[in-house]
Structure 1
Amino acid sequence: MLSMSTFLAEDPETGMDPVIERSWLRSSACGVAREAELSLPYDDHIDDDSRLFRAAEPVLERLVGTMSNMRHALLLADPDARIIHRWVGAKSLHGPLDNARIALGFGFTEEFAGTNGVGTALEEARVVTISGEQHFAERLFPFACVGVPIRNPVRGTIEGVLDFSCLATDFNPLMTSLLVEVAEHIETRFAQQASASESALLECFVKTSRVHRGPVVGMRPNMFLTNTSAAEQVNASDQAMLWELAGIAARHRRDTGVAELSAGRYSFRMTLIVEHSGIDAGVVLRLNPEFTQRAARDLTPRSRPSPLTTPRTRSSEPAKAGRSVQWNKLIERMTKLADNDEPVAFTGEDGTGKLWAAKRLASMRGGGLRIFDAEQERGTSHSSLPDRCRSALAAGESVIVRRIDKLTVPVRAELGELVRNAEGPLRLMVTCTDDPRDTVVRTIAGFAHQLWLPPLAQRPDDIVDIVPELLAEIAPDRVVTCAMPARQVLMRYSWPGNVAELRDVLAVSLAEAKGSQLQVSDLPGWLMKRAHRRKLTPMEQSERDLIIDALLSVDNNRAEAARVLGIGRATLYRKLRSLGISNGTDLTV
């Protein structure tokens, strides 16, 4: 019998289908036995009046009428992968299905059944087709199945799975399109059953989506809606954060805010479904990339930069906080570059502080400063940018061109030629997000100096110094320090958004802080779930999130959390250690 590692290596060129491969890895991690009898959970209590059953039954009854004497079965499973209804065509199929426990009341989550049409469709949240030995467990090898998640278009949740199963030898791929169409009919019935408050949220969401081209999300408890743009940019972990930020904004009677999502930094404008109420009745958020607002702060109205009227004297501004070797070497190099007027390119990830570094160097050199932003230049003639740079440089000003990776190739090339053909001092600086494109590399290749700003994940010790500086910047009228446990949480997070993301988190936390110290309880819940010492597997991360939610729900009472989770206290303490959750009195991670 083939082992999983052997199976994965069967085709060295293309490998296994990614969906099947991920499912096999999850099944193996759960300890599903490939060759043994499946030990499936069973619950024979079927709610014939459930929302899912009421929406699906009329649609499926019409389909089942056409399946008489066919060697196929149609299964309806709930969100827990438990089969709540089964329609079978030919009587000869009853025996094989029953022997494999493909029957009412049995649960087919991957945790117990391995790769299968119901459990894998729920895990992947997509249509899956699994046939024969693509199943993880041998008991399911004789079957082929198509699983289609059934989504509630009003709540934005997966309500169950529609599964088409048959013997592998009888499988017809054309059934997939039919099953998808049937699932769409069931989803339409969910919309017809929506409550008044759900319908109000859906109406507001649709209306907002028509006038706002960017991402739009609609939320209420157990309901999350996204338009096409938001579906591409807002993932599951972002949803919890947006709900939390919307709640904070509503409590402070604000309708705007800023969120650092997985896809980047966004500002949002909020509409409450019920005016002057909390968000439980529903809320719709319009999201906009926040870079346009950042750029606007660096430019005068009409998107045209103007020189700063600072005299040509050295700045006494202190260096940005940081104690790591990487950061200190960067500051040392900038200090040396202040003594000459050679061009400098600042590179690094988004949010590392490239613009800050360029501004600081310009300030150290003294004189006027012009800042051009490639994003803002979209509204002007790109071809005129090099000429405006030349004019400013000829006037003795320092020039910063932000985000040159956003410029057109000809304009980048002309900037590169401007640097290469310079015969004297050239106080030109550019910033560029790490970009592998050859045209960007060629542009900065001509710069005499290239300074790379390290990501925050590579210098966590700097957080000790950065946090006080950011707290003073965010709340200049308050004296707030960061407690040691909270600082430990901040140092254990990977900060994909770098310093910009750290600033956003501190701003949200300060809005919740009551005293003069920032505590762990003031930090966003999503941060505590993501902050850990080592990289966790998807299953470990899910388990960690569940434990943290349980601890938060019982005020960090370990004994009560163990009861809620249905495990022993010894087991809970072992999991706290293995998943990097502190066992102290504070919920630190």
Structure 2
Amino acid sequence: MADPVREARDQLIRVGLTGQYGANDAVPDIIVRSWRRSISNAVESSVPSQRFQDVDTDSLLCRAAVPVLDRWQHQLADTGTTLFLSDRGGSIVARRTSDNSERQRLDSMHAAEGFDYSEDTIGTNGLGTSMVERRPVFVKGSQHYNDALAALACAAAPIYTPAGLVVGSVSLGGPLEAASPIMLSLTREISQQIEERFRSSSRPQDLALAMSFMRFSSSQRPTVVMDHESILANTPGLPFVSVASHVMLWELLNSHKWSSSSTLRRELEGTSVEVTARRVVDGPREHFVVHFADLNEAAEGLSGLAVPSHAPSAGTAGTGPRRTVPAVVLVDGPRGSGRATVAGKLRATSASTARFEVFAVSAEAATPWGMFEDLLAGGTDVLIRRVEEIADNEVALLASLVEGHRTARIAGQRDSSLLLTSSRDQATPAVRAFIDTTGPAERTEALALTPERIPGLVKAILDVVDPESRHTISPAALQSIVQWNWPGNIAELADTVAGLISDAKGSVIERRHLPKHLQQAPPRRHMSMMETAERGAIIRALDAAGGNKSEAAALLGMGRSTLYRRLRQLGLDTGEGSI
């Protein structure tokens, strides 16, 4: 006997998304929409799900849902139905059935833990389609896009967090002959019970974040709402979210003087991304709403509007006119603060194809002024590092090199660039006068003053010392790295990260693996004398107790819960939870 539903699907596949397709009363609109998405995603319709990955059975979703599933498995015994739970990516993370033969049949269809049932992988099905449609759905028999599921009926509902985000879905499935509309009502009830467990287990600060997220986010503007421990992002904001960006943003937001300005507007270093942030003081502790904007996209889409002068110009990439670097570029700042890197980036904006030579001035060796002149005249870009090391009797030679090169560039005799790095604070009066006369094009700051740079620098260092990405740094460890003042600047940071990688026993570097001075790095916020003394006393007590917090609390004469709270407040919490 012909199946009109399967014939309707086959007709849609034949005519394609742009062909003429007549509506079929036998197929609900929600199913046709899902079929169209399945065709658009080139979903295979004749084989079971082939995508498998290990799943996290200790996720927040599983912890909230598993007790509910266990309770309903008992109530649904002998009904021939099976409960499925999927994460937001569509992978089945839990399955509950009381029938061994049904379990074996589902295994043969790859309807088991670890298999991907997202709509863009397996096509129309309860778990995946309910999340895309963001509402309960009932998919019966050949309404499934995949032929392997045609003997099943399943009702499914998305699961929402208190913030209104779809975090997964739950489905009640069984043989087609057992299909009943009551399955949809039961699925709704199960999803609501899981959502209630989410709400009851949420901390007050999490609920405050969720409320702010619902107030300030939209479907169009990339937005995150965050505090020290958690971060919520809408779909456009997801590309901006990572462990490194969370830590970097937190440091950036905490360094801003909110008492003098209620809004922070800043371009993120090394990017064309601008953040606009505001502080929210509602709830148990303050948190922040952050919006992102790509200045390059804004410049392209809003002709006639002025782009901030610090935004990269349209010609900085491989297309458009070449941006000319000045004849002489001086970058001034403390040693180890990334002066040479900044100079190199300024040169890179010109897309120069000239040869590039780098030299470091040393008081122990003669400076080859003649060679510098020959290289520049021959079209080679030259970077002279550590101008502060130049002796007073050579300042005139440096000034002559600079003036001669500028004159030759103006006359059109050269197109090379001379780049210099200096540390004015460590220079002699004569060299300081030269630096002041030349005028720095950029100034760098010590890491202690720009902690928001540290996450990006750590990633760059990891790319060099661990090119195969065999190791990662936990959020808590990265937070401790950011809190340290780094008196040795980038060189100290690079040596520390390289040492951590060489000594790593596992793939994840946690806070406990850091050197002790990093584990105990104080928060960057200013602490009172009382807090400083208390922090020192807690560190000594923990050392005396061998890290045992209960014993340390007894030594300090305070309750264990009080100690845990003070550990968090004073930046001594060694937990590896997500921040």
Range class of TM-score, shorter chain: 0.3 to 0.5
TM-score (norm 2): 0.41
TM-score (norm 1): 0.41
Query: Of the two, which has the highest radius of gyration?
Result: 2
